[in-house]
Amino acid sequence: MSELIYKSAAQLSESLAKKEVSAREVTQAHLDRIAKVDKAVHAFLFVDTEGALAQADQVDAARAKGENLGPLAGVPLALKDILAQEGIPTTCGSKILAGWRPPYSATVVKKLRTAGVVILGKTNMDEFAMGSSTENSAYGTTQNPWDLKRIPGGSGGGSAAALAAFEAPLAIGSDTGGSIRQPAALTGTVGVKPTYGGVSRYGVVAFSSSLDQVGPCARTVLDTALLHEVIAGHDDYDATSINAPTPPVVAAAKRADVKGMKIGVVKELSGDGYESGVSERFEESLEILRSQGATIEMVSCPNFDYGLAAYYLIAPSEASSNLARFDAMRYGLRVGDDGSRSAEEVMSMTRAAGFGREVKRRIILGTYALSAGYYDAYYGSAQKVRTLITQDFAKAFSSVDVLVSPTTPTVAFPIGEKSNDPVAMYLSDVATIPVNLAGVAAMSLPAGLSEGLPVGFQIIAPAMKDDRLYLVGAALERELAAKWGGVLTTKAPKLISAAGA
């Protein structure tokens, strides 16, 4: 049944509904794939073999009884290790949470289980979602299936790599400054950051509460839409959740028509600083959209130039507050508690041992920005810039339906190349960060290859107009698939040879 791993979630859904294959068979095929290749990829931190098969059996039993099941019932999924899942190790890629098994599940996890989605396990990530390469995980680096010597992006590199390596057809990520879209771009997959508040954050380990957003990941636009529809919606447990109907994302993905749409190219998110191959694929995608009847025009968002600086004041400031809860007193790691030390000493020793270098760096940055005498100069000023960026988006969306840009300035870079240069690493997210600052919606989908590596195309839509992402994304995907002859969704060749798959 190895051919099952190469089917899309929509194809698997159809086969399952027709009873051509069982949920157990589909799940076992993906578990076998994980066992075969994940030593090379390291996408997963924990594989719940027994639990996944038990979930699959429940779906098969319900289907045998004739129960009305959702479209993704029996389809496997990889879950980023930032979401709490009852009884399942949840580490957030950090030593400080080693061994923690939550007594509750995130709302997104509950929605997945209710829909019959089979959760295969938890995927690797940069510690507390702080990173752009998945090199900051306390449990080792994830490799990019397109080239095992390169990074898969971050912070959700594990989820993206699991998709690219055909270990799962669906995945969940979280996006604070690009952590869904940037890995999607670098692994040739699709990732969506929904409108802020469109998907519940309850049960998600917080990094930056005003920026964090859970979102769907897959290998096709339609699959991503199907997952989006499952996890979205209002949640009373999340005070920032939007109490409004979920945009019709699946219908938009199936419609896939851009005729008459106005598409704006963000001047500040293209040109200088972007690799030639990335720019070439971007221009080719614009031509495809133009040929399908869309109007393309240049749009200026001048305050985007300050987005990176504003983000790296706001996000660390909120992180320094959120991570204060990891104090060795209630759960997780505890170091030095031999009865001779004070609580403050144990707390200090635990944090020194439990937090990695990047997390410590951001806690220090954030604490400094919030300190007396500096709050207005740094954090306060960054919030003013955030307002200006939001206004830039509002002005742009008054004249165009969506905005577009390359997702990342480069293709995936070699592991270790930027690990000692934080600023160079941070620049990987220059095109994705403005979206989080404004709370609008965005998608990255594969636009082709440069030097044999995937390039991402970013689409940005106004708040609660997420369906526009899928309308444009599916139309572009259809033409790109024809142009590239299916190479964007074929098995990554370097992985196949290295892992013997």
Residues involved in catalysis: 80, 155, 179
- In Å, what is the CA distance from 139 to each residue of 46, 84, 93, 99? 11, 18, 7, 13
Assigned token pair, 388: 């200006």
Location of structure tokens 């992985």: 495
Are 319 and 360 a contacting pair, CB within 8 Å? no
b or e along 9-26 (b: 16 or more beta carbons within 10 Å of the residue's beta carbon)?
bbbbbebbeeeebbbbbb
The SS3 assignment for 96 reads helix
Residue 97 main-chain phi, psi, to 5 deg: -110, 15
How far is 437 from 173, CA to CA, in rounded Å?
18
SS (H, E, C) 98-140: CCCCCCCCCHHHHHHHHCCCEEEEEECCCHHHCCCCCCCCCCC
How far is 62 from 73, CA to CA, in rounded Å?
10
Assigned token pair, 266: 């963000």
Expressed in angstroms, the distance from the first to the final Cα of the chain is 14
- Please enumerate in sequence order all residues whose Cβ is within 8 A of that of 195, keeping only pairs 6 or more positions apart, or say none: 213, 242, 439, 440, 441, 463, 464, 465, 466
Pick from 53, 70, 191, 183: nearest CA to 120: 53
Pick from 194, 24, 181: nearest CA to 108: 194
| Burial class (CB within 10 angstroms; exposed 0-12, middle 13-18, buried 19+) of 342 | exposed
How far is 170 from 288, CA to CA, in rounded Å?
27
